[in-house]
Amino acid sequence: MKKTVHPLDKRFKIAHREALIGVILVLINFIWWYGFGYGLGSGKVENYTYIFGLPAWFFYSCVVGFIVMVILVILTVTFLFKEVPFEEEEGDIK
Amino acid sequence: MNWAVITPLIIFLMIIFAVGFWSNKFVIKSNSFLEEYFLGERQMGGFILAMTMVATYGSASSFIGGPGVAYTQGLGWVLLAMAQLATGYFTLMVLGKKFAIVARQYKAITLIDFLKERYKSKTVVLLSAASIIIFLFSSMAAQWIGGARLVESLTGLPYTVALLIFAFSVLVFVIVGGFRAVALTDAVQGVVMFIGTLILLVATIKAGGGIPRIISDLAAENPNLISPFGADRSLTPAYVSSFWILVGIGVVGLPQITVRAMSYKNSKAMHSAIIIGTIVVGFIMLGMHLIGVFARPVLPGIKIGDTVMPLLSMKVLPPFVAGIVLAAPMAAIMSTVDALLILVSSALVKDVYLNYIKPDAGDTHVKKVSFSVTAIIGILVILLALSPPDLIVWLNLFSFGGLESVFIWPVILGLYWRKGNKYGAITSMILGMGSYILLDRYYPNAFGLHTVVVPIVLSLLGFVLISLMTHQTQQLSNSKNNSTIQ
C-alpha cells in the first residue's frame, strides 16, 4: 500500500487523531441524546415538566443536545484540528 | 393551476439551469476531463462541500416521508430523526484528511478507484460497481417517482407530464455540467431547504397557537404523542438507538457521500464544512420533523403521511410563500437524484468501461462516452419510473442499508487497518449485502434492532477474520514477488 516515497507520513498522525475525535464526539452525542431522552422521558406523561412549552426530555435531548454538539464541533475544529496540505510536496510535479 | 405557487418553483428551476450551464464552461475548459466531470477537479470550498453533503443526504424522506411519520408517531420520531445530526460531522471527521490525502496519492476520482488501488483486486472493483449500479439505479428511480408525484400534486399536471418535466430539468444540468454542476446546484438547493424549513416551522407554530398550546393539544389527543415512545408505544429505546447506525454513522459507507469526502480543496474547506454541515443538517432534521408533529393539531385527520407537508404549506402560508417552501422538497429530491446519476455514470464510465473495456480511450472519446452514458442512464430511469416494475421497488428498499453494509468496512478498514486485504474486503461485501437481503426477508429487526445492525456486524467480523487468516499467505507471496524483483 505504501509505495510512495515518504515512509511515515506525518500528516497521517494528525488524520488518525482527528478521526478518533470524530468517534469520541459521536459517543458524547449519543450519550447526551439517550440520557436526556429516555432518562427524563420514561416517566408518566402527566408528570412531565415543560420548558418553552416542550417536554423537558425533548428540550434537553434534541434542542439543547443539538446546540451542545454544534458548540463542541466548533471548539474541536477550531482548537484541535490542524491544517495540512493534501497535495504531494509542490514544486517539481507541476 | 395555481400560478402563485408555481411561479417560485419555475424561478427556482431557472436558477438551477443557469448554474448547470455555467459549470459547463469548466467542463469544456478543463484539461483533465474525467476529474472535472466526475469530481469537479477537487475544488470544492467549505460552504459548497457542506451543502452538497447535506443536500445529497437529505432526500425525499427528510421532507415528505419523515414529517409524515412524525405526524402519526409524535415527538418520539423527532428523537429518532436527531440521530442524523451525527452525519454532519462524523463522516468528514472519520474519512477526514486521511481519505483526502490517500485519494490524491492514488489519483482516485471515484470511490471504486480508491478501493481498486487499495485492494488491487478486480473482484472488489466489479462487486462495488455492481452494487452501486444496481442499488443506486433503483433508488434513483424511486426518488424520481417521488419528485414526479410532488410536481403532480402541486401543479395538477398528469403524472407522466410531471415526470418528464422533473426528469428533464435534472438531466439537462447534470449532463452538461457534471459533478461541479451537481455540487453547485446542491448548494442552492441546500439553502432553499434551510429557508423552507425555517419559514414553515415558524408559520406552523403560529397557526397552532404557540408551542405550549400545540403540545397540550397533542397530549389531550394521545399523551404518547409527546413521549419518546411513539403514538402506540412501539418505538423501543433499542430500536430507536439502532438508527444511529442506519442514518448516523453508517452513512460513512454510502458511496454518494464518500465521493464528496474526496472532492474538497484543502483542510480549511473541510474544517468549515464540518461546522456548517452540522448546523444545517441538525436544523433541517429537527425542524422538518417537528413540523410534522406540530401539523397534527393544525391539520387533523390526514390519512396519507406523504401529503402532510404539501397540504400544511398550502394551509398555513400565503400561496407565493408556499411555492418557495415547496421548492425545498423538490430541491431535496433533485439534489439526491443528481448525485446518484453522476455516481452511477462514473461507475459505468470510469470504473467499468475505462478499466476493463477500453483502457486506451482518447480524451474526446471519453467525453462522448461520459455525456452519452449519463444521458442513457437518465432516460432508462425515466422509462422505469413511468411504470415502475416491482423489482425496482424491491431493490430500493435495500439501497440505503445494503450499500452501507457493502462499503462501510472496505472503506474504513481500508483506510485505517493496514492488515486489511482483498480477501477480507470481498468477504465483507458479499456477507454484508447477502445477510442484509436475507435478514430483511426472513428475520427483520432482529433483537429489536433495525435490520441494518446485524449485517454491519457480520461484515466487520468477516473482514477482520478473513484478512487475518489470509494475511500470512499474502505476506509470503509478497516476499516471493519482492525477491524475484530483487
pLDDT (tens digit per residue) in B44-54: 899 999 998 88
Q: Shortest Cα distance from A49 to chain B (angstroms)?
A: 12
- Tell if the CB–CB gap between A22 and B89 is shorter than 8 Å: yes
- Kindly tell me if the per-residue pLDDT of B195 is higher than 60: yes
The highest-confidence range among A5-14, B145-154, B320-329, by mean pLDDT, is B320-329
Q: How confident is the model at residue B479 (pLDDT cuts 50, 70, 90)?
A: low
Of B201, B167, B219, B427, whose CA–CA distance to B294 is shortest?
B201
- Kindly tell me if the per-residue pLDDT of B68 is higher than 50: yes
- Tell if the CB–CB gap between B211 and A84 is shorter than 8 Å: no
Question: Which has more pLDDT, B125 or A6?
Answer: B125
- Kindly tell me if the per-residue pLDDT of B192 is higher than 50: yes
Please tell me the predicted confidence (pLDDT) of residue A1: 46
Please tell me the predicted confidence (pLDDT) of residue B95: 93
- Kindly tell me if the per-residue pLDDT of B92 is higher than 90: yes
Of B363, B344, B190, whose CA–CA distance to B280 is shortest?
B190
Q: Shortest Cα distance from A91 to chain B (angstroms)?
A: 16
In chain B, the residue whose alpha carbon lies closest to the alpha carbon of A89 is B105
Q: Shortest Cα distance from B295 to chain A (angstroms)?
A: 15
Q: Please list every residue in chain B whose beta carbon sits closer than 8 Å to the beta carbon of residue A66.
A: 82, 85, 282-283, 286
DSSP 8-state assignment for residue B19: H
Mutate to test the interface with A, among B78, B85, B283, B478 (most CBs of A within 10 A): B85
CA distance A29 to B100: 25
Please tell me the predicted confidence (pLDDT) of residue B86: 94
DSSP assignment of A19-86 equals HHHHHHHHHHHHHHHHHHHHHHHSS-GGG--EETTEEHHHIIIIIIHHHHHHHHHHHHHHHT------
ipTM: 0.88
Task: Tell me what the mean pLDDT of segment B322-347 comes to.
Answer: 87
Residue-range domains of chain B with CATH: 3-394 (1.20.1730.10)
CA distance A49 to A63: 15
Q: Please list every residue in chain B whose beta carbon sits closer than 8 Å to the beta carbon of residue A84.
A: 97, 101, 267
**Percentage of the residues of chain B whose pLDDT score is greater than 70:** 96
- Write the residue in A34, A52, A83 that is nearest to B267 by C-beta: A83
Task: Tell me what the mean pLDDT of segment B4-30 comes to.
Answer: 86
Task: Tell me what the mean pLDDT of segment A27-42 comes to.
Answer: 96
Q: Hey, is B44 helix, strand or coil?
A: strand
CA distance B70 to B225: 9
Q: Shortest Cα distance from B415 to chain A (angstroms)?
A: 10
Please tell me the predicted confidence (pLDDT) of residue B170: 85
Please tell me the predicted confidence (pLDDT) of residue B486: 37
Q: Please list every residue in chain A whose beta carbon sits closer than 8 Å to the beta carbon of residue B83.
A: 33
- Tell if the CB–CB gap between B214 and A23 is shorter than 8 Å: no
Round to the nearest angstrom and report the end-to-end CA distance of chain B: 77
- Average pLDDT over chain B reads 88
Please tell me the predicted confidence (pLDDT) of residue B171: 87
Mutate to test the interface with A, among B89, B120, B419 (most CBs of A within 10 A): B89
In chain B, the residue whose alpha carbon lies closest to the alpha carbon of A37 is B228
The highest-confidence range among A70-74, B51-55, B254-258, by mean pLDDT, is A70-74
- Kindly tell me if the per-residue pLDDT of A4 is higher than 70: no
Q: How confident is the model at residue B279 (pLDDT cuts 50, 70, 90)?
A: very high
Q: Please list every residue in chain A whose beta carbon sits closer than 8 Å to the beta carbon of residue B104.
A: 86-88
> How many alpha carbons lie under 13 Å from residue A46 in its C-beta half-sphere?
0
Please tell me the predicted confidence (pLDDT) of residue B409: 96
Please tell me the predicted confidence (pLDDT) of residue A6: 52
A23/B contact by beta carbon, under 8 A: yes
Q: How confident is the model at residue A88 (pLDDT cuts 50, 70, 90)?
A: low
- B468, B421 Cβ separation under 8 angstroms: no
In chain A, the residue whose alpha carbon lies closest to the alpha carbon of B284 is A66
- Write the residue in A45, A69, A70 that is nearest to B219 by C-beta: A45
Q: Shortest Cα distance from B361 to chain A (angstroms)?
A: 24
A39/B contact by beta carbon, under 8 A: no
- Kindly tell me if the per-residue pLDDT of B473 is higher than 80: no
The highest-confidence range among B10-14, B44-48, B409-413, B434-438, by mean pLDDT, is B409-413
- Kindly tell me if the per-residue pLDDT of B331 is higher than 90: no
B98/A contact by beta carbon, under 8 A: yes
- Kindly tell me if the per-residue pLDDT of A70 is higher than 80: yes
> How many alpha carbons lie under 13 Å from residue B275 in its C-beta half-sphere?
17
Residue type, A29: N
Please tell me the predicted confidence (pLDDT) of residue B116: 94
- Kindly tell me if the per-residue pLDDT of A8 is higher than 70: no
Q: Which three cell numbers stand for residue B153?
A: 400534486
Q: Please list every residue in chain B whose beta carbon sits closer than 8 Å to the beta carbon of residue A57.
A: 228
- Kindly tell me if the per-residue pLDDT of B427 is higher than 70: yes
pTM of the model: 0.89
